[in-house]
Structure 1
Amino acid sequence: MPHSVEFPELVNDLYLRAARGEKVERTPVWCMRQAGRYLPEFRAMRAEHNFFKVCRSPELATEVTVQPIDRYEGLLDAAIIFSDILVIPQAMGMDIEMVPGKGPVFGHPLRTPSDIEAFLVDTKPGFSIDVELKYVYDAITMARHRLAGRVPLFGFIGAPWTLLAYMIEGSGSKTFSQAKRWLWKYPKQTHQLLERITNLSIRFLIGQVNAGAQMLQVFDSWAGELGPQDFSTFALPYLKKIAEELKAHCPDVPLTVFAKGAHYALEELAVLPFDVISLDWTIDPVEARKRVQKAREGVEYNAAGRRRPVVLQGNLDPTILFADPEIIRLRTKEMIEKFGSTGHIANLGHGMMPDHDPEHLRVFLESVKDESTKLCCSKNNK
């Protein structure tokens, strides 16, 4: 669906070309959680405003979105809108606070199926996810203008399983015992709730594109808490529906899936209509590429029979940014060489951490640019 707003012309389209499998002059790079907590300019803002106030204010969310683009001028190839995956449960009626040092905490997590109708409002007359989350759309539109075409802008959601896990558990967890208990005690209601979350997620993603998002990512942060069989039952069908619906409505918008900890499901993810598969740091890039390429043999992307390109994203261990600059450069070089000069978008294997040194991120970004340029030039000269 085309948006109806006139935006500045895009100057750097490197990410978009790479995500579509086109030839690029170097590897594009961005970082999950690049807008936020590790930046002193963000912490200064948070000293005055709580987390969800920043999310709900288009002006503040836009400022945070653009902060890393300003700080690392010319080094980042994408921006991601400052928001949170939990805005969908909030819109559905759940009370959530971001507690310092603990993360998101739900005031009334779902404990039995009767809580679904008691606390959730998404099936009530007049409910609209577009109305409830209009502030995200406004932030996307504003950020597109503020970026002035320097880089394209990501929209995103949390995957249905990950959102369900939070809604039942009430916070992050080492075991997710409450959420996983639901899967076995209430399988019918589990699937019904996953379906509701999925339908809202699809509508929300389409709305983000209409507001100006140029690419999208689905974060399944707790995918690795499920085993292979349970991932295939409680996560994969809903990821599949999201990908198919988005490609039907927005075929030209690159779509990424990040199923953290679930590299056992690479083959299953590879045959879904995602353009990019993001990898965490627990899998070797060479192995991942072989497995994905084999799984995609014979998978066609369009009616013309053109095979969908294999594009992988990742996957430097975020903790390497705690190392000395020479170690960061070395490990980045190794990562670039393993992924190769095509079909790769550089990123971390997860997100930036609160105590990362912003200048160590600069070393990573510069190293990606330098090493991938060398690799592309070397390949072209052969």
Structure 2
Amino acid sequence: IDDPDNTVPFLREILQSLRKETEGKTTLLGFVGSPFTLAAYSVEGKANKNCFQTKKMMYNQPEILHAFLDHIAENIAAYAIHQIDCGAQVLQVFESWAHHLSPEDFEIFGKPYADKAISLIKQKHPEVPIIYFANGGSSYLDLQRDMKADMICVDWKIDMATARKTLGDKPISGNVDPLILMGKEEKIREAVRDCVHKARGVPHILNLGHGVIQPTPESAVAAFVDEAKKINFAQTREPVSI
């Protein structure tokens, strides 16, 4: 990869400035796309609900796709390392197009290259926690349990108690439905309490099962955060029966 300070010169200034402003107050997260997702964007040229061209390559010219994924994994790692060098304290790897992959295809085209990128990052920065999120990948959550990431983020399409049981002692993040934030305040607070309760017994970062939807009211986000702050997390360390 070319020197990131030349290709994305603004990144160092932004991350260093944010790190200085947030020091001691919060953790600065960096993020990168996972190899399959970036390969799909490159092959399709835009978002495609069927991932047609990428899957056509997958099933007809797998050797080309494998070579491309390997190349992307190395470049992703270099970019992530640059973010960490510039101030990022935690890194999240997003497999945004995981919902296009069957479990078998995930094992062949998704997981190995995400793990390669994560391993390369860990070689340089073993101290930096890495979170992996496969959007729509809750149907093959069992395949993510042994991934190189320190934590697995799960979407809202699986019950948190089931996700926790599937991942075992792997730290977990998630998984409140983002659209609950469009509902009544008490429903939001109830969802927060339910998620935390079901994740008991393993390290857990309370989070949405995806990003905040653009028209979400700020008051809804405030209610989510406020309810989280009210929870005595010391009481959530004991596992809940499943």
- Shorter-chain TM-score above 0.5: yes
Aligned to 1:200: 75
**Paired amino acid for 1:156:** F
Shift of 1:173: 2.1
Q: 1:131 matched to which residue of 2?
A: 6
In the TM superposition, what whole-angstrom CA distance separates every residue of 1:108-145 from its partner, at most 9, and x where no partner exists? Answer: xxxxxxxxxxxxxx6xxxx4345212322321111101
Matched position secondary structure for 2:31: strand
Query: Structure 1: which 5+ runs fail to align?
Result: 1-121, 294-308
Alpha-carbon distance in structure 1 between the residues aligned to 2:236 and 2:126: 34
The runs of at least 4 consecutive aligned structure 1 residues that moved more than 6 Å come to: none
Q: CA deviation at 1:342?
A: 4.4
Is the aligned partner of 1:253 residue 2:128? yes
Name the residue aligned to 1:316: 176
Q: Which residue of 2 aligns with 1:362?
A: 222
Match of 1:353 among 176, 198, 213: 213
CA distance in structure 2 between the partners assigned to 1:267 and 1:379 by the alignment: 23
Bigger Rg, which one? 1
| Residue of structure 1 equivalent to 2:26 | 151
Q: Deviation at 1:310?
A: 2.2
* 1:318 to 1:351, Cα distance in 2 relative to 1, 3 A: same
Say if 2:190 is the partner of 1:330. Answer: yes
- Aligned-partner residue type, residue 121 of structure 2: L
2:167 is the alignment partner of 1:292: yes
Q: Which amino acid aligns with 2:82?
A: G
Task: Give the Cα–Cα distance (whole angstroms) in 2 for the partners of residues 244 and 378 of structure 1.
Answer: 31
Equivalence for 2:95 = 220
CA apart distance, 1:178: 2.0
Instruction: In structure 2, give the amino acid aligned to 1:329.
Output: R
Match of 1:376 among 234, 238, 242: 234
Compared with structure 1, are the counterparts of its residues 327 and 132 closer, same or farther at alpha carbon in structure 2 (3 Å cutoff)?
A: same
Q: Name 2:55's counterpart in structure 1.
A: 180
**1:228, CA displacement in angstroms?**
0.7
- Paired residues for 1:7-26 under 5 Å: none
Aligned equivalents of 2:204, 2:48: Cα separation in 1: 32
1:264 maps onto 2:139 in alignment: yes
Identity within the alignment, %: 32
The question of whether the paired residues in 1 share the 8 Å contact of 2:200 and 2:236 is answered with: no
**Compared with structure 1, are the counterparts of its residues 378 and 132 closer, same or farther at alpha carbon in structure 2 (3 Å cutoff)?**
closer
Structure 2 gap segments, 5+ residues each:
none
Question: 1:224 touches 1:261 (CA, 8 Å); kept in 2?
Answer: yes
CA displacement 1:149-175 (0-9 Å, x = unmatched) = 311100110001111111111222221
Is the Cα–Cα contact under 8 Å of residues 32 and 93 in structure 2 kept in the other structure? yes
145-154 or 310-319: bigger deviation: 145-154
Could you say which residue in structure 1 is the equivalent of 2:200? 340
SS at match of 1:235: helix
The count of residues paired between Structure 1 and Structure 2 equals: 238
**Residue type matched to 2:26 in 1?**
V
Structure 1 residue 284: deviation in Å? 1.1
1:63-92 CA deviation, whole Å, 9 max, x = no partner? xxxxxxxxxxxxxxxxxxxxxxxxxxxxxx
- Asked if the contact 2:189–2:224 (Cα under 8 Å) also holds between the matched residues in 1, the reply is yes
Equivalent of 1:161 in 5, 13, 36: 36
* Structure 2 SS opposite 1:265: helix
| Cα deviation, residue 148, structure 1 | 3.6
Which whole-Å CA distance do the structure 2 matches of 1:174 and 1:338 have between them? 32
Q: 1:362 to 1:341 in 2, by over 3 A?
A: farther
Asked if the contact 1:332–1:367 (Cα under 8 Å) also holds between the matched residues in 2, the reply is yes
Per the normalisation by structure 1, the TM-score is 0.59
**For the residues of structure 1 that align with 2:236 and 2:207, how far apart are their CA atoms?**
22
Aligned partners of 1:378, 1:158: CA distance in 2, in Å?
A: 32
SS in 2 for 1:238: helix
Whether contact under 8 Å (1:130, 1:204) holds in the other structure is no
> Offset at 1:379?
6.5
Q: Contact conserved, 2:150 with 2:170, CA < 8 A, in 1?
A: yes
Q: Comparing both chains, which one has the higher relative contact order based on Cα–Cα distances under 8 Å and sequence gaps of 6 or more?
A: 1
Q: Given the superposition, is the C-alpha separation of residues 379 and 130 from structure 1 closer, same or farther in structure 2, using an over 3 Å criterion?
A: closer
Deviation, structure 1 residue 265: 3.0
Change (3 A) 1:144 1:276: same
1:154, 1:213 within 8 Å by CA — same for their partners in 2? yes
- Answer whether contact 1:341 1:376 (CA < 8 A) is retained: no
SS at match of 2:93: strand
Q: Using the TM superposition, give the Cα deviation of residue 193 of structure 1 relative to its aligned residue in structure 2, in angstroms.
A: 1.2
